[in-house]
Amino acid sequence: MAKPDRGVAIVSLGVVGLLLVGCLFGRSEESVRGEFEAYVKGASSCTAASECAIAGAGCPLGCFAAVRSDRVADVESKARELVSEYERGGKGCAYDCVGAGPLRCVDGHCNADPDLSGGGSSGGAAGVGGAGGG
């Protein structure tokens, strides 16, 4: 009868350990923000501002993202998934949000800066933003 390979067992335990650490402590803000910004970039191609709409996001991803109108639901779903991954392990954050300014199609991507006419400050990039201080 062949003996089990110890190397396979050690590697398997290492993989399980890394997955457990990820589940217990959640993902970093930088990790989820980076993934969300890449996702939004893929969902924001446009030729005219009329193709664009606002998708809600949430802390730590920014308050909103400017995306194609046919991608709002999946971008909001992705945002919920990433916020959940970030909050796993007890992390959390909150900030005040301002509304989106006018939608634009800039260099082939939907974009909307935060509407700061009511005061506050902004956060986010490339169509992701709307976070005020808080």
**102-108, long-range: CB within 8 Å, 24+ apart, which pairs?**
102/49, 103/49, 103/52, 103/53, 103/54, 103/66, 104/49, 104/52, 104/66, 105/46, 105/47, 105/48, 105/49, 105/51, 105/52, 108/45, 108/46, 108/47
Please enumerate in sequence order all residues whose Cβ is within 8 A of that of 30, keeping only pairs 6 or more positions apart, or say none: none
- What average pLDDT score do residues 51-75 get? 96
Residue 129 pLDDT grade (very low, low, confident, very high; cuts 50, 70, 90): low
- What average pLDDT score do residues 11-23 get? 44
- What average pLDDT score do residues 42-47 get? 98
- What average pLDDT score do residues 59-63 get? 94
More confident residue, 2 or 36: 36
- What average pLDDT score do residues 84-95 get? 88
Taking the mean position of all CA atoms in its chain, how far away is CA 50?
23
Q: Which two tokens stand for residue 48?
A: 């005219």
Answering whether pTM is above 0.75, one says no
**Residue 89: per-residue pLDDT:** 77
**Residue 111: per-residue pLDDT:** 96
